[in-house]
Amino acid sequence: MKKITILLLHMQYGGIEKQTISFANELSKKYNVEIISVYSMKKKPAYEVNSKINIKYLIDDEPNRREFKEAVKGKNPLKIIKQGLKAIKILYLKNALMIKEVKKLDSDFVLSTRIEYANMLSKYAPKEVITMTQEHLHDDSKKYIKKVKRSFRNLDYLIVLGPGSKENYSKWLKENKKIKIIEIPNMLEEVPKESSLLNGKKIIAVGRLHPVKDFETLIYVFDKVVKKIKDATLTIVGGGEEYEKLKSLTIELGIQEKVKITGMVSKNQVREYLLNSDIYVMTSITECFPMVLLEAAACGLPLVSFDVPVGPKAIIKENENGYLIKNRNQDEMAQKIVELLNNKKELSEFGEKSKEESFHYIPSEIMKRWDAIFEK
């Protein structure tokens, strides 16, 4: 049985962590899987891990940003020094211990989930181990591209999540004759049996309330929509730092009775909200591979998103299951939402196509692509 090692920062809540653990669970049905996690955080994994998977933690503790900020805020020199030295020690150990593990790898394959681990694999992995990295970020800055070229120089495989990412990395790594760039999207854990009835005027978006998700723009777009469709509603599912700011904006625009911001909810509640909505709208400034679009598609929702450089275009088929809108064009987005909500036939057809497309991302389909690499 082939052995596959996965390098992770931690196994607590996070998009990369959730996807990687789901992937590891699928791998463990056929392969010997090991996860090397830098931090244990003195907690059990946030997501269920198959008992056959061997987990190795390198450090119990982690740098505590909150304690350091409090020490700085309180202007306590001793506490600042103490927390600072602790952070330096942990950050040093974090790299030193992972390098030590990489040097003694005995796996058939090793998969990095962060660019710094990819760099370690390029430098220190035994030659007989097949090295891979999976990139979950979109960043086209000169600094990042330079880092990519340096970190991936000796790797065997780069796994990208969509066609836009593949195009970018192929361009950046055109002088690297060793690395193979392969597109394998993240997997959708399941497609619910039910689908939305699409019988209302309910718009939904899901995500952490962070500037990069740009829910502020979504609220402005909705303000344009509700002027034309009086019974339209907007639900933003999620919590985060912009909660009060967004609530205040709805009051300022006079649409607070039409907009619901839920705060943090459970996974099951997210699905219920999706199943009781009519259109999913995404206004993010940047994305890599937005799983929430897939989850909305799996619930049979038409999709509308700004056409940011990568991400949504891998999932939305123009005029088939949704619309890609010229980036940041609020008027065009509002117009397309209004058209969809007023056209029940198109709404239904788009919803059916979304559901159909989502089956391409179930574990059995995605694992075929991974097996093509592991079974060579």
Integer Cα distance of 115 and 90 in angstroms:
19
DSSP 8-state secondary structure symbol assigned to residue 185: P
Nearest partner of 311 among 133, 165, 210, judged by Cα? 165
Average pLDDT over residues 348-358: 97
Burial label, 286 (beta-carbon count in 10 A; 0-12, 13-18, 19+):
middle
The DSSP result for 158-182, as a single string, is EEESSHHHHHHHHHHTTT-SS-EEE
Residue 83: is its pLDDT beyond 80? Answer: no
Q: Is the pLDDT of residue 312 over 70?
A: yes
Task: Examine domains 3-184 and 202-361 and report if their fold is the same.
Answer: yes
Find the range with the poorest average confidence among 64-68, 140-144, 290-294: 64-68
Q: Is the pLDDT of residue 82 over 70?
A: no
Q: Where are the domains of the chain?
A: 3-184, 202-361
Q: Give me the chain's average pLDDT, please.
A: 92
Give residue 292's pLDDT band: very low, low, confident or very high (50, 70, 90): very high
Is the pLDDT assigned to residue 71 strictly greater than 60? Answer: no
> How would you classify residue 294: left for phi > 0, otherwise alpha for psi between -120 and 50, otherwise beta?
alpha
Indicate if the pLDDT at residue 157 is higher than 90: yes
- Report phi then psi at 14, rounded to 5: 165, 150
CATH of domain 202-361: 3.40.50.2000
**Which pLDDT band holds residue 200 (cuts at 50, 70, 90)?**
very high
Sort residue 311 into left (φ over 0), alpha (ψ -120 to 50) or beta. Answer: left
Per-residue confidence band for 60, with pLDDT thresholds at 50, 70 and 90: confident
Kind plus residue range of the DSSP H or E element containing 43: none
Q: How many Cβ atoms from other residues are within 10 Å of residue 106's Cβ?
A: 11
Q: In what order do the strands lie in the sheet with 259-261?
A: 259-261, 233-237, 202-206, 279-282, 303-306, 322-325
3-class DSSP state of 205: strand
Q: How many residues does the chain have?
A: 376
Segment 166-187, tens digit of pLDDT: 999 999 999 999 999 999 999 9
The structure's pTM equals 0.87
pLDDT of residue 74: 64
Taking only the tens place, the pLDDT of each residue in 216-247 is 999 999 999 999 999 999 999 999 999 999 99
Cβ(280)–Cβ(290) below 8 Å: no
Under 8 Å between Cβ of 280 and 204: yes
CA-CA distance, 318 to 55, in Å (whole number)?
42
Residue 354, helix vs strand vs coil: helix
Pairing of strands 202-206, 279-282: parallel
User: How many alpha carbons lie under 13 Å from residue 129 in its C-beta half-sphere?
Assistant: 26
Nearest Cα to Cα of residue 11 among 2, 3, 22, 1 = 22
Whether pLDDT at 23 is above 60: yes
Q: Is the pLDDT of residue 43 over 80?
A: no
Q: pLDDT class for 2, splitting at 50, 70, 90?
A: very high
In this structure, of 33-42, 51-60, 337-346, the range with the lowest mean pLDDT score is: 33-42
Identify the sign of the CA torsion 206, 212, 216, 220.
negative
Task: Give me 227's structure tokens.
Answer: 């002027």
Multiple choice CATH, 3-184, 3.40.190.10, 3.40.50.2300, 3.40.50.1110, 3.40.50.2000: 3.40.50.2000
Res 279 pLDDT > 80: yes
DSSP symbols for 222-240: HHHHHHH-TT-EEEEEB-S
The answer, yes or no, to whether residue 68 has pLDDT greater than 60, is: no
